Structure 1
Amino acid sequence: MPIDSIWSYAPDLDHVQEQDLTGYTVVASDGTIGHVDRQADHHGMRHLVVDTGVWVFGRSLLVPVGVVAAVDAGERRLTVSCTRAEVKAAPRFRTDSETMDPAYLTVVGDYYHRLPPHESPTG
């Protein structure tokens, strides 16, 4: 997968691009991560800011939309193609200004791009 694709929804999720995913529950292959606090597209790098609640000490995480594997509008849930540990180990998101910093976004994109592929969760 080209690194640029980490910032775009998979072709079968094109319909999601214009959807407001705020409040959707975010689920990894091995459990819930949190919920979408907001979505952004700076410098052509579309991503979600995920509020983890108490799971990662109230920390938010930045997740490129290229790791979104499925969206269930009825359940208001989206599934990402990585594990909770992989998301937690991503480059730390500290301030909102980072969502507009191309250098930070590049580091995050590179991290997610290098993750091994995972089987899609079923059910």
Structure 2
Amino acid sequence: MTEHLWSFKSTAGHLAGADLTGYKVEATDGGIGKVDKHSDEVDDAYLVVDTGVWVLGKEVLLPASTVVKIDLEDRKIFVDRTKEQIKNAPEFHRDKHLGDPGYHDELSTYYGPGGIPFGGRLF
């Protein structure tokens, strides 16, 4: 992967400053929830997705690089992970995210090079 894990891909159609809260999130195999929170910070951009009843109310943090496309008209965000991969992601914890660098490392390990397989290869 040539682009930074915590940055939006240049091809995703992300507009800096756009409010993505409430957008539906689509995995490669179907809907997974809605954006509860997001960040546009350089090298620390992400989405917090509320999976609702699909995963018993679990929230997950997806690095911005997982975003393939943002459809502003339909208010949908498409990511390059399956529902199962997202379901198995480390759960989002607001307190850990803000003050625990180990949590960020755990997410980078899960989503980054050598992490979860995708499309027959490792990222």
TM-score (norm 1): 0.83
Structure 1 26/15 Cα, relative in aligned 2: closer, same or farther at 3 Å? closer
Show the counterpart of 1:46. Answer: 45
* Correspondence 1:16 to 2:18: no
Q: Which has the higher helix share?
A: 1
2:95 to 94, 97, 104: 97
Q: Report % sequence identity.
A: 39
Query: For residues 49 and 86 of structure 2, what CA distance do their matches in structure 1 show?
Result: 10
CA distance in 2, matches of 1:97, 1:40: 16
Distance 2:13 2:101 in 1: 24
Is residue 43–residue 102 contact of structure 1 (8 Å, CA) maintained in 2? no
Provide, for residues 18-63 of structure 1, a one-character-per-residue CA deviation record: whole Å limited to 9, x for no partner: 2111000000000101000011367942111111110010111111
| Pairing of 1:40-119 with structure 2 (within 5 A) | 40=39, 44-93=43-92, 95-100=93-98, 101-113=100-112, 114-118=115-119
Alpha carbons of 1:23 and 1:115: their partners in 2 closer, same or farther (altered >3 Å)?
A: same
Asked whether the 8 Å contact 1:45–1:105 carries over to 2, the reply is no
Compared with structure 1, are the counterparts of its residues 117 and 109 closer, same or farther at alpha carbon in structure 2 (3 Å cutoff)? Answer: same
TM-score by length of 2: 0.83
* Deviation of 1:107 (Å): 1.1
Work out the number of aligned pairs and report it: 117
Aligned counterpart, 1:29: 28
Q: Distance in 2 between matches of 1:77 and 1:22?
A: 10
CA RMSD of aligned residues (A): 2.2
Structure 1 unmatched ranges of 5 or more: 119-123
